[in-house]
Structure 1
Amino acid sequence: MTSIRLPTTRSPGSVLGAAPGVTERAEAHRATGGDAGATDPDALLRHLDASGLRGRGGAGFPAAVKLRAVRDRGGVPVVVANGEEGEPGSVKDRWLLRARPHLVLDGLAHAAAITGAVRGYVYLSDPEAGASVRRALAERAPHLPVEVVETDHTYVAGEESAVVRRIDGGPALPTSKPPRPFERGVGGAPTLVSNVETLARIALTAAHPGLRRVIARSTLITLSGGDAEPVLTEVPYGVPLRTLAAWHGTAAPGGALMGGLFGGLVDARALDLPLEPDALAAAGTALGCGAIRFLAPGACPVATAADAVGHLAAESARQCGVCVSGTAAIRDTVHALAEGTAGPDATARLERWSQTLPGRGACGLLDAAAATAGSLLRAFPERVRSHLRGPCPDCAAGTAVRPDSRGRRLAVPVPEVAMAPTSRIPLPVLKGTS
């Protein structure tokens, strides 16, 4: 079970809200400042520029720049709330759609007002999230026509060109670029594909512009790994990773798998880094989708890497030959390392692939596999060398287990969200809430 932990300091600019274990109904949402129609679009765009809000889907692109690019493209744009989170260690987007659908829909309406869009979509794969969004739409005035589009849950289904392709009636598979969705997206129109947490923070900025920096510099984080149960929480930028590990319940972690499968592995020394996108990027890792998996003391990072690349190889869209062959080669080599059967040239091959394969596929899946392999070599060279000498004692003792090609051990369950018939009911006590 994944627990929800409220911030120690409460703020009206919190995405978690006051009652994250209950679906927020329209009445409660309006009582806390929710309203998609009362903010001047140009003023809101200036607030977003000043706040420095970055997208929360993984790439961290400035939200105001993305909105402006769609607005300035011409034509009649389309806006899409992207709630299909493919990273196995992340649950924030599905929780948001289940618990705070009105906040996301407000953000979508504000994005439409800024860009000039006249229709929107909510794109997801979680049936409970879909039901929650549809209930919320039925409670709202129809300022913006919105359609819910469901897809199968895969790693690549949330990539923005795959989102466009699925909404247009095709498979949820990435396409080559250009054009990018802001140039030519749904139905050929300029399209904003925005992560649901990004939209929630746009809505909060509209409701509380005086808190714009606080809103932009806080983020939802999924913490997992070790023996502690997963935690979904919201923290400000700047908190040391080591502090988050202690808060999660992983004592003296040996490192972490960062950004879902996007930021690669870091060793224990990197846990003194602050949770801040630029600082993490400068250190060779990434915040990504905000999912961090800590390595318990004694856990084998080689086995963790094998889980990650095995999952990525299994999730390949199988459209790009270089991705199919590249992810399979990385998977097989890292798995051989984990089993103690790799040849002496394994590290040289992994190093070469980590440098030559990124950027060669239609999406970021191959990049993630290559980055994971490269980060393993950089962060844990001695553990890799020990695996070349033979089976790992930690693996043999069962502390780290045989790699799972489907990545099931990396998955995190979505926190439970109760359905509230009205906004005036006793709220449940959430495990782990402070």
Structure 2
Amino acid sequence: MTVIRSLMPYRAGTALGTLPDIVETGEAYTAAGGYHGAGSPDRLLDHIADAGLRGRGGAAFPVAVKLRTVRDGGARPVVVANGEEGEPGSVKDRWLLRARPHLVLDGLDRAAEITGATRAYVYVSDPYAAARVRQAIAAWPPRTPTEVVETGHTYVAGEETAVVRRINGGPALPTAKPPRPYQRGVGDRPTLISNVETLARIALIATSPERRHEIAGSTLLTLSSSDGGALLSEAPYGTSLRTLATVQGTTRATGALMGGLFGGLIGPESLDLTLDGTELAAAGTALGCGAIRFLGPGSCPVATAADAVGHLRTESARQCGVCVSGTAAIADTLRQLTTGTAAPDAEERLLRWSSGLPGRGACGLLDAAAGAAGSLLRVFPALVRTHLGAVCTDCATAPPSGGHRLVVPVPPVMDHPAQQAQAFPEPGSERVSPSSPR
């Protein structure tokens, strides 16, 4: 089970809010200041720019720049809340839609006002989240006409061109670029596609502009480990990975799989890095969607890489031949390393693929597979060589699962009014549903 443990106070003005395992009603949201404040859309845009808010979907692009680009696109735009969380180790977006739908809808409405959009969509694959959002829309209709569009849950369904394609009535599969959605997207109109946490933080800044730097300076994280413990957390940028590992429960971490499946592997020497995009990029990794899987003493990085690429192999859209063959080749070679059956040139082939395959697919799936292999070779080269012609005890104990071990469940969210009055524990403590075993 996934629990919630914040590194910040549980209060209004944070993404987790005050009662993160209770569905927030429209009345409770407005009572805390939601749907109010910020003044004009231009004033809110200035606050967002001043705060330095960046997107939380993975690319960390400056939000104000994206809003202005869509606003100035020359036609009435469309705005989309992207809640299709394809990374198996991430739960923050589905939790937001389940627990705080009004916060997301408020941010979406404000993004529509800033850009001049006349239509909005919430794009999601989680049926429970979709139901919560529809209930919220019915109870508190947004100023901008808003529709929920559901899709199947796949790794590539949340890619921006796949989002556009699905909303336009096609399959949730990536298309060639350009054009990008901000140029021509839903209905051939300029389209803002924004991660739901990004929109939530826009709403928080609108409600509490005086705290805009604090709001932009923290982020939701999904932390998990090979030991099975998982938690949803909110932490300020600048927090060290080692601190996060301790909070998650991996006190003797030997490395981590960063950014969902996109940030690659890091070793123990990198755990003193902090949640800082520039610092992480300089170390050859990334925070991505905020999903971090820590490796414990009994975890083999080779098996973790095999899990990651095995998952990507099954999730390929199978539109690009190079992606189908490339992910399969990497996955097979990594699996052979875990069983001690890899050919002597396995390391050489992985190195060639990791440098030659990125950028050749229609989306980032092939890049993620190549990056996982490349980071394994870069960070754990000696370990890879010990897997040539020998069976690894740790890999034998936990053979590659095709990515099933990487999946993290969404924390339970309740809607019982009686729970609304419960006091919340101090920061750093667990929040567990009373109906769930500890």
> TM-score, normalization: structure 2?
0.95
Q: Evaluate the alpha carbon distance shift between residue 113 and residue 100 of structure 1 in structure 2; reply closer, same or farther with a 3 A threshold.
A: same
Offset, 1:321: 0.8
User: Take 1:178 and 1:115, find their aligned partners in 2: how far apart are those partners?
Assistant: 21
Give secondary structure in 2 for the equivalent of 1:176. Answer: coil
Q: State how far apart, in whole Å, the 2-side matches of 1:199 and 1:237 are.
A: 18
On the 8 A contact 1:67/1:115 being kept in 2, the answer is yes
1:139 CA drift (Å): 1.5
Identify the residue that residue 230 of structure 1 maps to in structure 2: 230
Match of 1:374 in 2: 374
Matches of 1:414 and 1:428, distance apart in 2: 22
> What is the match of residue 431 of structure 2?
433
Change (3 A) 1:253 1:202: same
Aligned partner of 1:433: which letter?
R
Question: What is residue 125 of structure 1 aligned with on the other side?
Answer: 125
User: Which residue is equivalent to 1:70?
Assistant: 70
Among 411, 417, 433, which residue is 1:415 paired with? 411
Shift of 1:7: 3.4
Q: Aligned partner of 2:375: which letter?
A: S
User: Do the aligned partners of residues 71 and 180 (structure 1) sit closer, same or farther apart at CA in structure 2, a change above 3 Å counting?
Assistant: same
Whole-Å separation in 2 of the counterparts to 1:348 and 1:427: 58
Query: Is 2:357 aligned against 1:357?
Result: yes
Q: Deviations over 1:98-137 (max 9, x none)?
A: 0000000000001001100011000001111011101110
- Is residue 2:403 matched to residue 1:403? no
Judge which range, 195-204 or 135-144, deviates more. Answer: 135-144
Shift of 1:229: 1.9
Of all paired residues, the percent bearing the same amino acid is 66
Deviations 1:16-74 (A, max 9, x none): 00000011001110011101676311111111111111100111111111111101111
Kindly provide the amino acid, as one letter, of the partner of residue 413 in structure 2: V
Q: Decide which moves more: 157-166 or 341-350.
A: 341-350
Structure 2 residue ranges without an equivalent (≥5): 433-438
Aligned to 1:210: 210
Shift of 1:394: 2.3
| C-alpha distance 421-165 of structure 1, shift in aligned 2 (>3 A) | farther
Give 3-state SS (helix, strand or coil) of 2:431's partner.
Answer: coil
Q: Conserved in 2, the CA contact under 8 Å of 1:108 and 1:120?
A: yes
In 2: Cα distance, 1:347 partner to 1:146 partner:
51
Task: Please list the CA deviations of residues 127-150 of structure 1 after superposition, one character each: whole Å capped at 9, or x if unmatched.
Answer: 110111011101214411100000
Confirm or deny: 8 A CA contact 1:225 1:296 kept in the other structure: yes
Number of the residue aligned with 1:85: 85
Change (3 A) 1:372 1:117: same
Question: Which residue identity does 1:290 align to in structure 2?
Answer: G
Structure 1 unmatched runs, 5+: none
Whether the aligned pair in 1 keeps the contact of 2:258 and 2:264 (CA below 8 Å) is yes
Match of 1:158 in 2: 158
Q: Is residue 205–residue 215 contact of structure 1 (8 Å, CA) maintained in 2?
A: yes
CA contact (8 A) 1:124 1:130 kept: yes
Give me the whole-angstrom Cα distance separating, in 1, the residues matched to 2:37 and 2:173: 34
| AA matched with 1:33 | G
1:327 corresponds to: 327
Q: Could you say what secondary structure the match of 2:387 adopts?
A: helix
RMSD: 1.6
Q: Which whole-Å deviations, capped at 9, do the CAs of 1:227-283 have from their partners, x for residues lacking one?
A: 252010100001110011011101211100000001000001100101111111111
Greater displacement, 241-250 / 36-45: 36-45
- What are the equivalent positions in structure 2 for 1:191-270 lying under 5 Å apart? 191-227=191-227, 229-270=229-270
Q: What does residue 96 of structure 1 align with?
A: 96
Equivalent position of 2:296 in the other structure: 296
**1:394 correspondence with 2:394:** yes
User: How many residues align structurally?
Assistant: 429
1:347-399 deviations in Å (ceiling 9; x for gaps) = 11111111111111110000000000000001111110110141113223x1x
Deviates more, 1:226-235 or 1:186-195: 226-235
Q: Secondary structure at the match of 1:232?
A: strand
CA contact (8 A) 2:182 2:191 kept: yes
> Which deviates the most, 90-99 or 139-148?
139-148
Give the stretch that moved more between structures: 247-256 or 11-20.
Answer: 11-20
Distance 1:38 1:404, change over 3 A: same
Tell me the alpha carbon deviations over residues 311-348 of structure 1, each in whole angstroms, 9 at most, x when there is no partner: 00110000011111111111111111111111111111
Aligned partner of 1:112: which letter?
A
- Equivalent residue number for residue 51 of structure 2: 51
Determine the structure 2 residue equivalent to 1:110: 110
> Quick one: structure 1 residues 421 and 130, their matched pair in 2 at CA, closer, same or farther if it must change by over 3 Å?
farther
Q: Is the 8 A contact 2:37 2:206 kept in 1?
A: no
- Structure 2 residue identity aligned to 1:64: A
Q: Give 1:318's aligned amino acid.
A: R
Deviation, structure 1 residue 427: 3.8
